[in-house]
Structure 1
Amino acid sequence: MKSYFNATCKADAVGDGTVGALVAWLEKFVNVLFPENGIEYFADNQFGRGRALQRNDRVPGAGVADDCVHHVACYVREGANEGRIIEVMLYLRGDVFKSLTWIKSFGSADECWAIARAIDAALNSIIFWNEVPELVSMADKVPRQYIWHRQTSLTEEITILSGMDKVLVSTASGLVLDDRSWEGQAYAESQATAVALDWVTVLSALKASFKLVKDAPDRLAVPDLPGYVISKRGVDVEGYYVLPPGGNPNDDRDYLGYFRDRDAAIAAARNHKACQLLVAA
């Protein structure tokens, strides 16, 4: 299944928590993922009654009360005269559907359904997990001639420097779009990977010139593997070499071998350590 976004931030609501703020955010979200979409407009239900949420209404949240969201419903139907309509609705526990917005599009059926699925994924993340995808805030940091442009005005190449616990998105002239570190935090590598992947999505959508550079350490420090040297041996390679305790770093025969990534190298070292303990026993 396609992952429309990877990085999220904790938030109880989008913007001021109103329907208008969420719909405006959804429009930006869709434009990042589908920059060439055939959407004509997002409706704000200003003339809707009864089952339509108004711009100034608070977005219903998750919970067990009748006015709380039970599930999100996004689907595509044919337009009354032409094109298609992407319906975005919330089904409340009180057994009623509330229209959040509807979208007029002249895009293909496949595109419209892909947009519906992307919106469904985002709303579920926001409403049920209080996790707002970072794609929109990332895109807002990229220079554009006008705010409504879907292509960056920046001609300079952007570098996404992705490390095991950090991400730096910048240009040679000193423009910094993102600079984050998760050093010492749990799941640091997963967070860094998620942010880097979404920057690739954003910069691709905005037609920026960019490159992704992996910033891997030359030597890994693994607390449960004292004496093992897991390093790149000063060579520009993707993976790592593993030297067991007592091995000669200048003798290729003493190395356990070369492994394609850090996880494989660490696993090999742990397996070797386990075998040595069995022999000693």
Structure 2
Amino acid sequence: MSSMFNATCKANVVGDGTVGATIAWLEKFINVLFPDNGIEYWSDNQYGTGSRYLKRGDLVPGAGCTDGCVHHVACYVRPGNCEGRIIEVALSLRDGQFKSLTWMKTFGKEDECWQIARAIDEALNSIIFWEEVPELVSMSEKVPRQQNWHRQTSLAEEVTILSGTDKVLVSTASGLILDDRCWPGEKFAGSNATAVTKDWVTVLTNTNAKFKLVKDTTDRLTVPDLPGYVISKRGVDVEGFYVLPPGGNELDDRTYLGYFPDADAAIKASRDHQARQLPVAA
């Protein structure tokens, strides 16, 4: 089975590390992965009594070898008391205590319920034991919406995911940049770019955005917000890139903006040139 997420950032908590912040993050995480889920509400154990219920203001226990630390995460599905199902999320501590983190009342189908339980289990294990927070939520929050709580985007124009060997650019032709990052010279640049690209495909698909995935090549760059600009190596073995602006003649060296030592410098020069061509508002 494939992972529910791919890209992560280093952190062992979400928000302020409280149960309330964690539940809020989990709800967003599940809404990204399952935008049409049948969950009716998420419980914060407000009415639970006894030490086995974690409350909103409590800090989520972390990993470790002492009694109060998490031994394992438990996520499972059980029948509802009258109708629907309950998805339980709990933490088993090393001293034998079993702490309820949250539970959800859902009218979703059984398969969906177990998929949600699995997704929460993967996310909590990643955060608690590996100190890696999935980026799906932060990515999704960058996508324009008419209202913050809407699960579908209000963005009408097409988004381009430009995926290279060591970079990812997610943008629109009008200049909206949703993500722009690179890992030049880093050991795991390729796997980082692949992970980010996969998760952007998930986010844009599930928010019902129009998008296309463009694979960047090593000898020619495609930058969505620079239509008409040719950023290439011109078929020669060089480290950097040449930039030909719109209307330039590929056979005439005089029409090139010049040679730039790397992709970032070439893209910056192109954007600066593009900005100078725009009419000045009266």
The bucket for the TM-score relative to the shorter chain is 0.7 to 0.9
Shift of 1:218: 2.7
Shift of 1:43: 0.3
Amino acid at match of 1:2: S
Q: In the superposition, relative to structure 1, how do residues 14 and 109 fare at CA in structure 2: closer, same or farther (>3 Å)?
A: same
Amino acid at match of 1:104: K
Q: Percent identity?
A: 73
Taking the TM superposition and a 5 Å limit, the aligned residue runs for 1:242-261 are none
Q: Does 1:34 align with 2:34?
A: yes
> Residue 212 of structure 1 corresponds to which residue in structure 2?
213
**2-structure distance, mates of 1:84, 1:46:** 19
**1-structure distance, mates of 2:169, 2:216:** 10
**1-structure distance, mates of 2:145, 2:209:** 11
CA offset digits 1:174-213 (Å, max 9, x no partner): 0000000000111100000000000000000000000000
Taking the TM superposition and a 5 Å limit, the aligned residue runs for 1:232-251 are none
CA offset digits 1:66-102 (Å, max 9, x no partner): 1100000000000001000000000000101100000
**2-structure distance, mates of 1:94, 1:178:** 43
Q: Does 1:124 align with 2:125?
A: yes
> Residue 278 of structure 1 corresponds to which residue in structure 2?
none
CA offset digits 1:10-66 (Å, max 9, x no partner): 013100010000000000000000011000011000111220100000000000111
Q: Does 1:84 align with 2:92?
A: no
**1-structure distance, mates of 2:58, 2:187:** 37
Taking the TM superposition and a 5 Å limit, the aligned residue runs for 1:21-100 are 21-49=21-49, 50-100=51-101
> Residue 275 of structure 1 corresponds to which residue in structure 2?
none
Amino acid at match of 2:95: G
**2-structure distance, mates of 1:186, 1:61:** 29
Taking the TM superposition and a 5 Å limit, the aligned residue runs for 1:258-277 are none
**1-structure distance, mates of 2:29, 2:83:** 25
**2-structure distance, mates of 1:216, 1:103:** 45
Taking the TM superposition and a 5 Å limit, the aligned residue runs for 1:84-163 are 84-163=85-164
Shift of 1:233: 10
Amino acid at match of 1:22: T
> Residue 20 of structure 1 corresponds to which residue in structure 2?
20
> Residue 195 of structure 2 corresponds to which residue in structure 1?
194
**2-structure distance, mates of 1:46, 1:2:** 35
Amino acid at match of 2:13: A
**2-structure distance, mates of 1:160, 1:91:** 40
**1-structure distance, mates of 2:74, 2:37:** 21
> Residue 178 of structure 1 corresponds to which residue in structure 2?
179
**2-structure distance, mates of 1:201, 1:233:** 35
Superposed CA RMSD: 1.3
**Structure 2 unaligned spans of 5+:** 221-232, 236-282
